[in-house]
Amino acid sequence: MLVTDTHTAHTDIDTLIRVLDAAETLPAAVLLRARSYELLRLPPDARVVDVGCGTGRAVAELAEHAAHAIGVDLDPTMLAAARGRFPDIDVRAADATALPLGDGQAHGYRADKVYHVLTDPPAALAEARRVLVPGGRIALLGQDWDTMVIDSDQPDVTRRVVHARADTVPHPRIARAYRALLLDAGFHDVDLEVHTAVLTGASMLPIVAGHADAARQAGAVTGDEADAWVREQTRRARDDRLLFAIPMFLATGTR
């Protein structure tokens, strides 16, 4: 997944998965996932855990880099989708603060666009340290919800839409704090990269409409403003003028 959140309630799982597929198969998204795998520096006999695995794409890809890749998620619908799509992968229902691994059993830990919805991110990092071997690597990947860039002829409405949508997320700015969180949790060799996801296709319109609806429900924009803004974005998508850019933070460290 690139900019959506599979851990919130949704009414149309098929639509959600289609949006995830569109986002995750973009060349830039593929390269960013590959970069996160590379930075884990997994040894040949590695066991790696992907926290918040969603539909399992990263678990399947990690299985090509490790002896044993495990995906965990709390959403039973997503776990079912993962098992249906990738029958050979190991995915389990588990919380980020209670992983199904013993102490020091993992060589790598990865969490992709998950920490912004966790109740207790520091507790999740403590759990990551528990399951990692000494010298094991962690990679946290996520978007900054408060600095999304959307091109529009209505900048004031856009600003209100972006910030109102960010305010619906428990930790909308946590990605910019990844480096500090890893240091505070006792990780060393901590590094941070910032990549930019650039989305221009009409497949992103459900995300755009979802942002407008969240802003409407929060009272940040009126119904008329939301409708006009979505019409503009729909027209931009039709004319190949839609632009949605999101800073993606990739932080890594060593146990």
Tell me the two tokens of residue 132.
Answer: 């990692």
pTM: 0.90
103-115 tens-digit pLDDT: 999 999 999 999 9
Q: Quickly name the fold that domain 13-144+170-197+247-254 has.
A: Rossmann fold (3.40.50)
- Domain-wise residue ranges, the chain: 13-144+170-197+247-254
Q: Are 75 and 7 in contact (CB under 8 A)?
A: yes
Place of tokens 């098992």: 83
- For the chain, how many helices (H) and strands (E)? 9, 8
pLDDT digits (tens, 9 = 90+) for 175-209: 999 999 999 999 999 999 999 999 898 988 988 99
CB contact burial 163-199 (16+ within 10 A = b; e otherwise): bbbbebbeebebbbbbbebbeebebeebebeebebeb
- Six token digits for residue 67: 């002896």
